[in-house]
Amino acid sequence: DVKVTQSSRYLVKRTGEKVFLECVQDMDHENMFWYRQDPGLGLRLIYFSYDVKMKEKGDIPEGYSVSREKKERFSLILESASTNQTSMYLCASSPVLGANVRGYTFGSGTRLTVV
């Protein structure tokens, strides 16, 4: 089974801190994604990456940045954490979508609380 591992299950950070959320996948997938999940809003795409050192903005990139220095690792960075960034963050990976690919594999999520 594909494994997508997020480094922390729960995090509590202070307003203004720089926060790193790490995600590692072990199946050589080209694509990696960061979503945040909020009640009533579903999953919203923050950033994604098609390849090493490549990144694309999703629908809600403000206040976030990403890094993909190695194919298996995709990091989400909150430059200066704010309380409105309190959320569940989900990482996902997939091969290049095509006829034989079935969606994403998700990590277990990181519940971030900014106080």
Partner 1 sequence: GENVEQHPSTLSVQEGDSAVIKCTYSDSASNYFPWYKQELGKRPQLIIDIRSNVGEKKDQRIAVTLNKTAKHFSLHITETQPEDSAVYFCASPGGTGNQFYFGTGTSLTVIP
Nearest CB to partner 1, comparing residues 81 and 104:
104
Alpha-carbon span 98 to 104, nearest angstrom: 12
To the nearest whole angstrom, how small is the minimum distance from the Cβ of residue 9 to partner 1? 10
Residue closer to partner 1 by CB (options 80, 108) is 108
Q: With respect to partner 1, which residue has the nearer C-beta, 23 or 81?
A: 23
CA nearest neighbour of 85 among 11, 8, 7: 11
Under the rule (CB under 8 A), what is the footprint of partner 1? 31, 33, 35, 40-45, 48, 50, 58-59, 90, 94, 96-97, 99, 102-104, 106-109
Type of residue numbered 5: T
Closest CA to 68 of 2, 13, 7, 22: 22
Q: How far apart are the first and last CA of the chain?
A: 36
Q: How far is the CB of 113 from partner 1 (least distance, A)?
A: 16
Query: Cβ closer to partner 1: 20 or 50?
Result: 50
Q: How far is the CB of 53 from partner 1 (least distance, A)?
A: 16
CB 29 within 8 A of CB 86: no
